[in-house]
Amino acid sequence: MDKGIVVETKDLTKSYDGVTVVDHLNLRITENEIFGLLGPNGAGKTTTILMLLGLTEPAVGTAHVCGFNSTREPLKVKRLVGYMPEKVGFYDNLTARKNLDFIAELNNISYTESQHQIDQLLKAVGLSEAVDMPVGKFSRGMKQRLGVADVLIKKPKVAIFDEPTAGLDPEGISQILDLIANLPQMGTTVIMCSHRLYEVQQVCHSIGILSKGRMVVEGSLDQLGREAFAGGRYRIEVETTESTPQLVDTLKGVSGVTKVETEGNRLLISADSDLRTEIAKIVVQSNIPLVEMKIHEFTLDDIYMKYFHED
């Protein structure tokens, strides 16, 4: 295994009752990055995670986490990986602290250390006032926060979050996302599944989109934008009182501009970067009054929708 690769799968395949859920998946996740695993419902995200953890056996292929085979050495993998399932559950009769105590004990963390950790983590997820409240009285969002603390208590090398922000209030979302965004600094690689593309875009360094068990596309957001839209990531819309072929030609000549389309008096310019100042200068120089100029930046939503419209 290459250095710096924390998670690697080779031809990972799993099928249920003849339906292939994960289909020869090859995944590589670099150390200390936040990887966003996206895909529609039933794309095989959870099954992939279960195979990474050794909770499910793959039919074909292998999964390695930190150099350990997930199927053969699940205990070593589980020692290094923290997993927060989509529907995270706690013992309702125990308090938040007792729930975390139990997990810490299963991970052989000493009592004094775990107490310190628990206080810190519950503060970080905004639950310090509910430490000694039975989890049965928690709201969904509070359980979700506790779930994040629960993953981090063992200081994992790899943390896997399945829908970490589902059911959270806006403040909670930004709190949790901040926490996740800081994990790579502490040496934790993060895999995050989410349907909220905006959040994924905010924190993830690279992204993989799964569909029907196959990786449709993988890479950093910039790369994905460039691949998905041959035009580049930015679209600049310019409205003028009149449009001349000359202007279009000049604009096409600007470095960074990949495409110019005309639509009456509107010009749609695709570019690699924000070229608004250059474009404005050119329009003004050619003595054509500028009416309006707008810029669209492609979001992950656009990229995602583009891939799934093609299906």
- For residue 162, the minimal CB distance to other proteins (Å) is 7
Q: Which of 180, 210, 181, 205 is nearest to 195 (CA)?
A: 210
Pick 85 or 126: Cβ nearer other proteins: 85
- For residue 157, the minimal CB distance to other proteins (Å) is 12
146 contributes a contact to other proteins by CB under 8 A: no
Rounded CA separation 39/211 (Å): 6
Contact code string over 53-92 relative to other proteins, x by CB under 8 A: x-xx------------------xx-xx-xxxxxxxxxxxx
Long-range pairs, 55-62, Cβ under 8 A, ≥24: 56/14, 58/12, 58/13, 58/14, 58/22, 59/13, 59/14, 59/15, 60/11, 60/12, 60/13, 60/24, 61/9, 61/10, 61/11, 61/12, 61/13, 61/24, 61/25, 62/9, 62/10, 62/11, 62/12
Among 93, 120, 128, 182, binds other proteins (CB under 8 A): 93
Among 11, 105, 263, 301, binds other proteins (CB under 8 A): 105
Identify whether the C-beta of residue 176 lies closer than 8 Å to the C-beta of residue 164. Answer: yes
- For residue 12, the minimal CB distance to other proteins (Å) is 16
Judged by CB under 8 A, the stretch of 98-106, 210-218, 287-295, 296-304 that binds other proteins is 98-106
Pick 168 or 217: Cβ nearer other proteins: 168
10 contributes a contact to other proteins by CB under 8 A: no
Pick 76 or 214: Cβ nearer other proteins: 76
111 contributes a contact to other proteins by CB under 8 A: no
- Torsion 255-261-267-270 (CA) sign: negative
Termini Cα distance of the chain: 34
Query: What does the binding site for other proteins look like in residue numbers (CB under 8 A)?
Result: 46, 50, 53, 55-56, 75-76, 78-79, 81-93, 102-103, 105-107, 150, 154, 162
